[in-house]
């Protein structure tokens, strides 16, 4: 069979593991396999026995559907196109109605989903790393920044069923998977040694095999302080290796014994979610456990635009700044980096774009945070001075910042004088005028407002937007 594997040309950090495993499966059967990221007129004009198309986040709906339709005439029948992945598992029926192709929901671990007697083995196969260097990509081959890594799963599913999460739809049952050591050996023997270890589990601490998993990680060459020899410019150098529990660990399942186990491997960073202010005490305990075990680099996901408020969001960031200072005073070298992540629904019409606004949020606030994160490259570092410059010293300053025009937020120093003038004009409004102004502001849409016969003071302020 002639097999074409396609990933839509959205930007993504991780390679399409599902397609890489399908490639291994078909190559084991002796089939010819080609891979391309995006839409290629040359490939579309060829006839393929099967086309597999990956999908990622639901807000890539438009691009993914366009890619599927682009290749529909490249097969004898639309039923020869198979679409799988995150979006396919969440919006299964919508994709079928829109395209008429075969849509696969969940993992490739069930017999017959692709029409073969042994296709239930696909999820357990080693991903095909050779696939991504396929000559079909030519000089425009997409570079995945994490490609020098072993991509493995020790478990599947999650014991939690958080309403904001897609995992209950993708992997509804939690179970222990293959040996990490076995997976690493498979990849190493066939595709060469990789520098880092990315563990893609959704909730690895829920495994009753966790101590064994840690031992396998160490045996695979990823003890604390592990390095790998590489040749660069004709000489041997030794590079640090890292282990990354990519989806983060569940602080609710963490204890001192598990943290001590984690500290024995080359973990960097240790990711801990801080999605809700009500978990502050538990989160703080986890950070101190990590510091006490000598873990130096922590990263956390800060979910916002869900059920939180802007005040909650700011407080969680501020807590990390305070924790960094508290740790330093106690002589720990642990540093915490925050990664704010805007919530988007996983189902429904709002899932198909990134325009959802949470009940305690508004478009201007969300846009304001986006502008701050543009300047910080999406990361909130450990230094108070930088944090207070970016987000403000208080919640009031923070809210005033995210109400500013975009260019005033991004190019803060350049527009300092204009910003002060704008703030003086806002402060000069009556309470009624301020209320009217903020009502217009929160929609972050001034195209219609500019021409409305509003109060001249408000119009002069809006001109800055």
Global pTM value? 0.91
Neighbours of 387 (CB within 10 A): 20
Give the HSE-up count for residue 47: Cα atoms under 13 Å, Cβ half-sphere.
2
- Give pLDDT tens digits for 352-394: 999 999 999 999 999 999 999 998 899 999 999 999 999 999 9
Between 172 and 454, name the one with better pLDDT: 172
Cα dihedral 151, 155, 159, 164, rounded to 10, equals 20
How far apart CA 22 and CA 32 sit, in angstroms, is: 12
The stretches of 277-393 forming alpha helices (DSSP H) are: 280-292, 310-329, 363-376, 384-391
> What confidence score (pLDDT) does residue 136 get?
53
Domains in the chain, ordered, with CATH?
2-129 (3.40.50.280), 148-249+261-268 (3.30.750), 284-403 (no CATH), 416-462 (no CATH)
> What confidence score (pLDDT) does residue 452 get?
52
Q: Is the pLDDT of residue 449 over 90?
A: no
- Give pLDDT tens digits for 386-441: 999 999 999 999 999 999 999 999 999 999 999 999 999 999 999 988 888 888 88
CA angle in degrees (0–180, nearest 5) for 86-91-94:
145
Contact 242, 271 (CB under 8 A): no
Q: Which of these, 90, 230, 251, lies nearest to 164 by C-alpha position?
A: 90
Angle separating helix axes 395-402 and 363-376, nearest 10 degrees: 100
Q: What is the mean pLDDT of residues 265-273?
A: 96
């Amino acid at each position: 069979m002639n097999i074409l594997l396609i990933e839509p040309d959205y930007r993504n950090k991780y390679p399409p593991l599902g397609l890489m495993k399908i490639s291994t499966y078909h190559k084991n059967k002796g089939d010819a396999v080609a891979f391309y990221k995006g839409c290629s007129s040359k490939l579309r004009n060829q006839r393929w026995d099967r086309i597999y198309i990956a999908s990622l986040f639901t807000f890539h709906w438009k691009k993914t559907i366009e890619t599927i339709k682009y290749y529909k005439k490249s097969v004898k029948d639309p039923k020869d196109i198979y679409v799988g992945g995150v979006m396919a598992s969440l919006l299964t029926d919508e994709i079928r109605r829109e395209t008429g192709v075969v849509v696969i929901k969940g993992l490739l671990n069930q017999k017959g989903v692709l029409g073969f007697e042994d296709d239930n083995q696909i999820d357990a196969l080693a991903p095909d790393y050779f696939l991504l260097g396929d000559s079909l990509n030519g000089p425009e081959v997409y570079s995945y920044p994490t490609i020098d890594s072993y991509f493995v799963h020790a478990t599947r599913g999650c014991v939690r069923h958080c309403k904001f999460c897609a995992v209950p739809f993708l992997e509804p049952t939690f179970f222990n998977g293959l040996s990490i050591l076995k997976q690493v050996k498979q990849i190493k023997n066939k595709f060469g040694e990789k520098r880092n270890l990315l563990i893609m589990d959704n909730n690895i601490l829920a495994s009753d095999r966790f101590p064994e998993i840690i031992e396998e990680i160490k045996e695979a060459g990823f003890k604390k302080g592990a390095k790998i020899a590489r040749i660069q410019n004709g000489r041997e150098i030794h590079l640090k290796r890292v282990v990354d529990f990519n989806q983060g660990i569940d602080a609710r399942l963490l204890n001192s014994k598990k943290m001590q186990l984690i500290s024995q491997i080359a973990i960097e960073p240790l990711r801990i979610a801080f999605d809700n202010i009500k978990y502050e005490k538990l989160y703080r305990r986890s950070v101190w456990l990590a510091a006490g075990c000598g873990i130096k680099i922590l990263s956390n996901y800060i979910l916002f635009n869900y059920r939180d408020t802007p005040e909650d969001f700011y407080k969680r960031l501020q807590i990390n700044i305070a924790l960094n200072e508290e740790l330093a005073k106690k002589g720990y070298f642990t540093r915490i980096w925050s990664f704010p992540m805007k919530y988007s629904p996983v189902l429904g019409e709002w899932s198909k774009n990134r325009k959802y606004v949470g009940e305690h949020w508004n478009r201007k606030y969300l846009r304001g945070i986006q502008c701050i994160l543009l300047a910080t490259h999406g990361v909130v570092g450990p230094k108070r001075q930088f944090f207070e410059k970016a987000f403000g010293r208080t919640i009031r300053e923070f809210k005033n910042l995210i109400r500013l025009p975009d260019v005033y937020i991004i190019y803060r120093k350049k527009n300092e004088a204009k910003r002060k003038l704008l703030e003086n004009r806002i402060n000069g409004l009556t309470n009624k005028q301020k209320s009217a102004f903020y009502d217009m502001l929160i929609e972050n849409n001034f195209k219609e407002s500019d021409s409305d016969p509003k109060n001249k003071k408000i119009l002069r302020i809006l001109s800055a937007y």
